[in-house]
Every structure is written in structure tokens, then in C-alpha cells.
A and B are shown apart, each in its own frame.
Chain A
Amino acid sequence: MGQLLLQMLVGTITSLKIFALTLLFALPLGMLVAKGRMSKNRLVSKLVNTYIMIMRGTPLILQLIFVYFAPYYIFGTSYDRFTAVIVGFVINYAAYFAEIYRGGIQAIPKGQYEASQVLGFTKVHTFTHIVCPQVLKRIIPAMGNEVITLVKDTALAQTIGVAELFRVAQNASARQFSTMPIFLAGVFYFIMNGLVSKSFDVLEKKLNYYN
């Protein structure tokens, strides 16, 4: 039993690492993608749009397999599975975040930009101090959904052989002829997502001081 729990703890840590690293890279990258999508340069916006369509239009599980195996077939070298998982998750989630950011940015009234311009703010100051805080408030519900999905999606890392929590639980189940480990994993995802929703609720309340 102690052994099982230890294994599951290691799996949990792997899952949490996937979760945290994906957010760390995909949150800022998503903003870059959103900017590219809204670019006045038609070529840039077309290319970025194609990327977003592929990321949203194909299964994440397929993307993970592609990210891991494509370099092997093309260059004849393979690389670390965990790195592949992070790359796969980051490019997928950046696309989803980008669309959420874009919706938020486009919802900011033109008057906010005009007032900023008339007051002499730089473009950067307008973006960081006027636009972004308001975008943040608008996108919290959609971001909450996406981050909850991410928690559950971490289970897909096993498709390219990364032993995250769910894989560990499945293996243990098979060994012990018991569904207990899988049930335990379920409890973990449930608690983790409880924390995620709670955090988003808190953030939403914190930003409720205006509307």
C-alpha cells in the first residue's frame, strides 16, 4: 500500500509539472499568438490563423504523437518524451488561450484607446495599464474552463510514454486487480480542479470592484 501511494505521488508530481509548465509557457505565448492573429499584416494573420485552426481542429492526442515522432522520421533523432509532452501541450494550449485573449482584447471599447491616445500614453502603456487589466477581468470565466480542461488533459501525456498519474494508476490497477488506484486518481483530479475553480472564483471576486 505504501509502495502504491509512493508511485502515485511520483505520478502526481509529473502531472503537476505538465500542468504548471504548460501554463508557464502557454499563457504568454498565447498573447503573442493573439497579437499575430490580429496583425494588420495579412500574411502573418493568415499563418497564425492556420496554426490555430490546426491546433483546435485536431485531437491533442494526435498532436502529441506528431510532436514526439515527427522529428524522429524527419531528422532521424528522437528527444526526451517529457519535453515532447510540454511542447505539445504548450503549442496546443497557446492556441486556445490566444483565441480567448483575442476575444477579450476585441471587446475593449475603442474609446479606451482613444482616451489613452489623447492623454498621450504610449502604445505600450495603453496595452499594459489600460487594456490588459480589463481584458483579464473579461476572460476569467473562459480561462477557468480551459485550465480545468488542462488538468484533465494531462492524462494524455501517457500516449507518448510519460508516466503521469493516470498511467501509474492504470498500471497499479492491472497489477492488483483493483480499481482502487484509478478511483484514487479520480479523487486527485477532482481535488485539483476544485482548487483551480476556487482560485478562479477568488480572482473573479477580486476583480469585481468595478464593472
Chain B
Amino acid sequence: MSIITVKDLKKGFDGLGVLKGISFTLNKGEVLSIIGPSGSGKSTLLRCLNQLENVDSGSITICSDVMVQTDEKGLVSYSDKKILQTVRLHLGLVFQNFNLFPHMNVLRNITEAQMHVLKTSKEEAEKNARRLLNKLGLSDKEKAYPCQLSGGQQQRVSIARALALNPEVLCFDEPTSALDPELTGEILRVIKDLAKEKMTMIVVTHEMAFARDISDRVIFMDDGLIVEEGKPEELFNNPKNVRTQKFLQRYE
């Protein structure tokens, strides 16, 4: 069953095409990795899915809610605000540089959206937050402020913050790129655990070994297009496209 359907998505900045017609689907429980050189449009794709950018054309459907569609005449229409909010809450996004709220402690970072967006009671929200913190090995940090945490801990809090809203799909945009190399392991382990629980995920990453390890499917993007797509064994061991081969050579 497909959770995300993207059709012929196009997006440019100042007339310069960044996404030049992206189509893919994501099934429930699937882990999709997106790899590709920097500037190929991976972040822009995630940002379009999460409504941080408006698309120029194409359609996006998430959990059978239409976010945006384009008719035969090329007219782009976003759904109304209420549906967009529903669609938004189907997805969670983990940023490269965490973007935690520095003035709120760890617990509040995780409860704020539950209480104000989902209207969960404070007790319920805190219970849920503590469960997530416990799961991510941060039980002793609930009163800490983000600035008192290591990068790896901050990223785990931001994962907990996203999970707290029970998204159908969790998106990661290079979740380890802002971390010291010795801290990437703890984040990759968390994502791997989520994969084991059949969490549906899209992971943009430069960690090739990791992508090969956790993904059900890998997409290689270059210059705003999906150049190659396949099972990790196929794509990493037998890349068909020359560009994919060239790109992967850099990681050998």
C-alpha cells in the first residue's frame, strides 16, 4: 500500500530548475534512502514533501490525502488549509542541524506540539515524551536544555520530538552530517531500530554503508532527477547508470 505518491514534481528557484520531474512511491513500512551529490535537490525534495517549499508543478499525495495536484492545463492547486495540516502531520522531519527550541527543556521540546497541535493533555504528552526519551536513551536528560547536550543527544531529542506526533512517515535530511564522526553511530543505530519496528522512513544520507544496510529501496538523484532506483544490493553492487557508478566510486 503506497503512503506517498509523487508524480512529476518540479521545483525551481529563480527560474533555475532544481527538481526536474521527480516521481516515486513509498509503501508502508518501507525504508527509502536517497543518495546523490550535493546540490542534486535531495533537501528540496524533502522540503517540498514537508510543505517548506511550494512546488511549481506535479502532484503529491500522502496517506490518500492530496496535498497538491496539477491538472492537464498545468494549473497547480494546493488543497485547503485543513487538509494541508492533516497532510503535514502525516509526516515528520528531522533536520540536519536539529532546530531544537533552545529556550525549552528537552521535555517541553517534545510536549509542545502534542499539547498545542494535537491538543493532548499535559499528563498524556509528558507520559508519551518520557516513553520516547526512555526508548532513545535520554531518560536522565528531560530537564536539560539543548545547549547542555551533545550533538548526538540533540539529534535524538529532535527525533523524539518528531515521533511524538505519531507521523506515518519520518523524513531525515542528512541526520548525521552536522555531527562529529564518533557521534554518527548513535543516530544511525536509532534509525536502524526504527526500521526494525517497521517505521516508514525516507532517509537522505551520505552514509553509503548505512543506506545499504537499512534500506528496502535506494534512489540515486543527480541534477534534479532520479537517475536510478532499486534494491540496495542492486544499486550498490551493480549500478546501471554511469552517473551512479561515478558517484559510488567516490565512496569506495
Contacts and interface: CB of A to CB of B under 8 A. Distances in A.
Contact of B99 (A115, A121, A125, A211): A115
A59 interface: no
A115 to B, nearest CB: 4
B119 to A, nearest CB: 11
B102 A211 contact: yes
B92 A118 contact: yes
Contact of B101 (A117, A120, A130, A137): A130
Interface size bracket, B side: 20 to 34
Interface in B31-79: 50-52
Nearest to A119: B113
Contacts of A112: 99, 101
B112 A118 contact: no
A34 B88 CA distance: 30
Nearest to A110: B99
A42 interface: no
A129 interface: yes
Contacts of A130: 101
A119 B117 contact: yes
A119 B165 contact: yes
Given A129-B112, A211-B147, A118 B103 contact: no
B188 interface: no
B102 A115 contact: no
A183 to B, nearest CB: 44
Contact of A114 (B88, B99, B103): B99
A112 B92 CA distance: 15
B88 A120 contact: yes
B159 to A, nearest CB: 13
A120 B97 contact: no
A interface majority secondary structure:
helix
B99 to A, nearest CB: 4
Interface residues of A, number: 19
A210 B99 contact: no
A120 B165 contact: yes
Interface in A132-146: 133-134, 137
A196 B117 CA distance: 39
A37 B88 CA distance: 31
B27 to A, nearest CB: 23
Q: Name the 3 nearest CB pairs between A and B, nearest first.
A: A111-B99, A115-B99, A119-B113
Given A109-B99, A133-B103, A210-B147, 15 more contacts: A115-B95, A118-B93, A118-B162, A119-B161, A119-B162, A119-B165, A120-B89, A120-B117, A121-B116, A125-B116, A134-B102, A134-B103, A210-B102, A210-B145, A211-B147
Interface of B: 50-52, 85, 88-89, 91-93, 95, 97, 99-103, 112-113, 116-117, 145-147, 161-162, 165
Interface of A: 109, 111-112, 114-115, 117-121, 125, 129-130, 133-134, 137, 209-211
15 contacts: A114-B52, A114-B95, A115-B95, A117-B88, A118-B50, A118-B88, A118-B92, A118-B162, A120-B89, A120-B117, A120-B165, A121-B112, A121-B116, A133-B103, A210-B102
